[in-house]
Chains A and B, each alone.
Chain A
Amino acid sequence: MNTPLLEVDNLRVTFPTPRGDIDVVRSVSFTLGRERLGIVGESGSGKSMTGRSILKLIRAPGTVSADRLAFDGIDLLAQSEKQMRAIRGARISMVMQDPKFSLNPVMTIGEQIAEALLTHQRLPRREVGQRVKAMLESVRIDDPERVAKLYPHEVSGGMGQRVMIAMMLIPEPDLLIADEPTSALDVSVQAQVLDIIDELVKRKGMGLIFISHDLNLVSSYCDRILVMNTGRVVEECEAGELRNATHPYTRGLLAAIPRLDETRDELPVLDRSAWANS
């Protein structure tokens, strides 16, 4: 059998606190092929930390350890920071959860996309402008010339997200980690942006880790799902089977989702008393 694209065995992310070390990700193990893996779970359950640790982007004093963390057979934990920089962006890229913090506030949208393009290939000036425009169009920005000249604070919430996605897809990575990439998009634009990502999964065999709060979206878009709670994977299932999940925590999340034909006067919430002690 071929080596999987990504192997994660016993991943742990630890932060020191005044009350001792805490593991915000603990004994997380999974493998990923050229497929779409969804990660869901409540706020603070360790989804983003899991995604960032694959790129070794956990800031000190946080630390990452694992029995194995390998991408395309490369032992990531053994890579130097310089070697990691060559992998990031070009081979593994990540759409961060908050576009407003990930975009450079003093550069226009067009300049930032051009920069992302030029770190991976050389192109004549004229062509750069055309590629930037085409990239903005592909994420359904209707007036790319105007938007290319805007600064991040001048674009709408959903436009910022689409700019981030455009930048991360330009190099056509082998693995895309997308952290809440479409939470600010209307469902129609969302469907089109997901189609673009899907196209890369199908055509190039890209692997996708899709982190989201939207359980319905993940279950209709991904192949497989991990459910996280307090740093652990509590349930793993085929995406289409999410609605039949058995873990009480997953059932609690599912019950809290409002429906299009909603009739309940109040939505059920998780009983946090078990872990609401901070």
Chain B
Amino acid sequence: MTALSLNNLDISYGETPITHGVSLDIAEGESFALVGESGSGKSTILKAIAGLAPEWTGSITAFGKSRSHGIDRHFARLCQMVFQDPYGSLHPRKTIDATLSEPLTIHGIGSQNERVEAVMASVGLDRKFRFRFPHQLSGGQRQRVAIARALMLEPKILLLDEPTSALDVSVQAEILNLLKRLRREQNLTFLMVTHNLPVVSFLCDRLAVMRQGRIVEIADVADLKQGALREAYSRELMEISATHAA
């Protein structure tokens, strides 16, 4: 079954068009990467799906249901976002408990205590962190909180914007292992933005390469691993990544 489908999506901010004719179909349980040029509109696509960039034409569909342009509660329960910046995305004066309970309150969901405990356990956060503030956590712990918050409503799709780019390689490994395990256990579907092609190799099944607001290529991760991307721009990214490898 198709979990998420974008059809001919043109997103703009005011007068400025950002994406042009973006179309994608992501299967349930699939992990799909969006890579490409800085400023090409990757975060903007995730924001449009999450309802944070409302000026678009085309269609956004999750499990057969189209998204409206405004606040869409039904859609929010299906589809949650983890932001690019782990420092800015948590409210500095809210405890972890308050941050995790908030989406439940907004959606009128009960048994909050049990749910907060269960989600903290599933992302590997010790209970002792529950009443701490973000500044009392490390970068990796904060990113676990951000993932936990996205999981509170038991979504079926996670939109992940550079979930590990601000983390050191060891904490990155912990978060990548965590995401892999969550996907397996909860049959989640991922749409993940990243600049790091080795991360795509580890976590994803397919990737789309973007440049200047357009998708230039969609490929299987097997092609990336074998150095078999087709388009000149994709090959450029792949070859630079390969020369960095130790």
Contacts and interface: CB of A to CB of B under 8 A. Distances in A.
Given A215-B246, A252-B170, A266 B195 contact: no
Contacts of B244: 187, 214, 216-217, 220
Contacts of A254: 246
Contacts of A219: 246
Contact of A260 (B180, B195, B224): B224
Given A44-B138, A188-B237, A216-B246, A256 B84 contact: no
Given A42-B171, A243-B246, A187 B87 contact: no
A156 B225 contact: no
B166 A258 contact: no
A186 to B, nearest CB: 5
Interface residues of B, number: 50
A36 to B, nearest CB: 15
Nearest to B197: A260
Contacts of B21: none
A60 interface: no
B20 to A, nearest CB: 15
Contact of A253 (B170, B174, B245): B170
A108 B172 CA distance: 33
Nearest to A218: B244
B241 A187 contact: yes
Contacts of B240: 187-188, 191
A258 B246 contact: no
A184 B202 contact: no
Contacts of A41: 168
Interface string B199-239: 10110000000001000000000001110000000001110
A266 B177 contact: yes
A48 to B, nearest CB: 12
Contact of A184 (B84, B88, B224): B84
B54 interface: no
B159 to A, nearest CB: 15
Given A98-B87, A266-B180, A259 B162 contact: no
A257 B246 CA distance: 10
Contact of A189 (B35, B38, B174, B243): B38
B182 interface: no
B28 interface: no
B31 interface: no
A186 B172 contact: no
A156 B165 CA distance: 14
Contacts of B87: 98, 101
B39 interface: yes
Contact of A220 (B43, B138, B167, B243): B243
A258 B237 contact: no
B199 to A, nearest CB: 6
Interface in A33-54: 41-44
B173 A186 contact: no
11 contacts: A42-B169, A155-B39, A157-B43, A158-B38, A180-B166, A186-B195, A187-B244, A214-B244, A220-B243, A258-B199, A267-B176
Which 7 residue pairs spanning A and B have beta carbons closest together?
A158-B38, A267-B173, A256-B173, A258-B198, A258-B202, A262-B201, A187-B240
Interface of A: 41-44, 98, 100-101, 141-142, 146, 154-159, 162, 180, 183-191, 213-217, 219-220, 242-243, 252-254, 256-262, 264-270
Given A184-B195, A213-B172, 12 more contacts: A142-B212, A184-B84, A185-B195, A186-B35, A188-B237, A214-B169, A256-B169, A257-B173, A259-B198, A260-B198, A260-B238, A262-B225
